[in-house]
Every structure is written in structure tokens, then in C-alpha cells.
Chain A
Amino acid sequence: KAGVTQTPRYLIKTRGQQVTLSCSPISGHRSVSWYQQTPGQGLQFLFEYFSETQRNKGNFPGRFSGRQFSNSRSEMNVSTLELGDSALYLCASSLGTGFPYEQYFGPGTRLTVT
């Protein structure tokens, strides 16, 4: 099976702009979660989508939003970018929201805000 794919892999944006990141889960996986990774902070949970519905949301401002399509592909949007949004954004897919809890991660999108 193909793994989780994320596009683009690298992105440079200017403060104030907006950005959209894309994630294609493993075939058959219906749950997609997004995480932000910054140095020293580990992975911070952004949100989870299952069957096109947001099931859970982390403690991030409303500038961060997402959606999931009927084919389980997901997009994440960040509006009015700030310098602190520079991070690696990881997408993870799993069969569902219950057991087993293992999530399979994509390689991430490295976002740099200047």
C-alpha cells in the first residue's frame, strides 16, 4: 500500500499570506489528523477529521482550519501567517478513531514564514 502523502514538501510564505497544505491518507483509512512540530515542542495536535467531519480540535487559533473530502483526502489552511507558524506540519492517517490507535504519518510539509 502507498503511504501517506503530503504536498507540497516545502513552502516559503510571507507574513500575512495564507497557505493550504494537502494530505492523502493510506487507502482505506478514514481518519486524518494534523500535527504541528516545532523544535523542542514535539508534536502538537491540530485537529482530526473522520468521514468529512471534524471530530476533535487542539488548542490552536481559528487561523488554522481544515477539511476532509469524501475520498478521505484532507487539506489544512492557515490564514494570516505569522512568523511563529514556521514549522513542520505532519498529517497522519488511521483506520478509524478507535482501537488500534496507531497513526501512520506522512513526511510532512516544511513551512517557512518570512
Chain B
Amino acid sequence: DQQVKQNSPSLSVQEGRISILNCDYTNSMFDYFLWYKKYPAEGPTFLISISSIKDKNEDGRFTVFLNKSAKHLSLHIVPSQPGDSAVYFCAARSGSARQLTFGSGTQLTVLP
């Protein structure tokens, strides 16, 4: 039973355009959400996070939106750059559980 789902295994976007990566969750106890980026042969790198008390968090070109009623979060990258090409994982955590629960990842390809 996947509690965190990334339904799009891949996404291609033109350089300079917006990339939108989506993530859905089923566990209503999740109260903190994170996005990680992973390049081949490297471990995931923390990108941005959001607490459930917020609906938006912004850091430079990266913005995460949280819709609690829909149990949905998204990562927006504007403008997209070729160096953003990587696998993006969303992750979630509840206050009672110690571990992060990860989605299966979305491969983003930014075309020059």
C-alpha cells in the first residue's frame, strides 16, 4: 500500500518553461512534506519542504504547494534549466512515525 504516490514516472519540459511535479498521499496523519532531487550515481539531495500548517513554500526557482483537502502536493520549477534534469522524489512524515515515506519518483528531463 503506497501511502505516497507519484503517478507520473517521467516528465519532459522545454528549457525556460515551468515544470510541475505532482505527488498524492493517502495518510492524513502526514504533517511534513519534502522534495528530494537525485542525479544518477548520487544520493538524493534535499530540495525544499513544507509543513502542513502552510499551503505554499518558496525557495528561489522552486515552489511547493500543498492542498491538504485533496491530499496533494506539487513542486513547481520556474524557469526550468537543463541542470534540473534528475529524478524527483516527494516524501512525507507524520509526527508519530520517525521515518520518511517516499514516492516512487518522477524523472524530469529539461530539453535545451
> Which A residues have a C-beta under 8 Å from some C-beta of B?
4, 33, 35, 40-45, 48, 55-56, 58, 90, 92, 97, 99-108
Contacts and interface: CB of A to CB of B under 8 A. Distances in A.
B97 interface: yes
B89 A56 contact: no
Contacts of A35: 102
Interface hub of B9, B32, B43, B102 (most chain A Cβ within 10 A): B43
24 contacts: A33-B100, A42-B6, A42-B103, A42-B104, A44-B102, A45-B99, A45-B100, A45-B101, A45-B102, A48-B98, A58-B99, A90-B43, A92-B43, A99-B32, A100-B49, A101-B32, A101-B93, A101-B100, A102-B46, A103-B100, A104-B46, A105-B43, A105-B45, A107-B41
A102 B98 CA distance: 12
A56 B105 CA distance: 23
Contacts of B4: 42
B42 A107 contact: yes
A84 B50 CA distance: 34
B34 interface: yes
Interface residues of B, number: 25
A42 B100 contact: no
A105 B89 CA distance: 13
Contacts of A102: 34, 46, 49
Interface string B35-58: 010000111111001000000000
A40 B46 contact: no
A105 B44 contact: yes
Contacts of B49: 100-102
A43 B104 CA distance: 7
Nearest to B97: A56
Contacts of B103: 42
Interface in B56-112: 89, 91, 93, 97-105
A1 B111 CA distance: 34
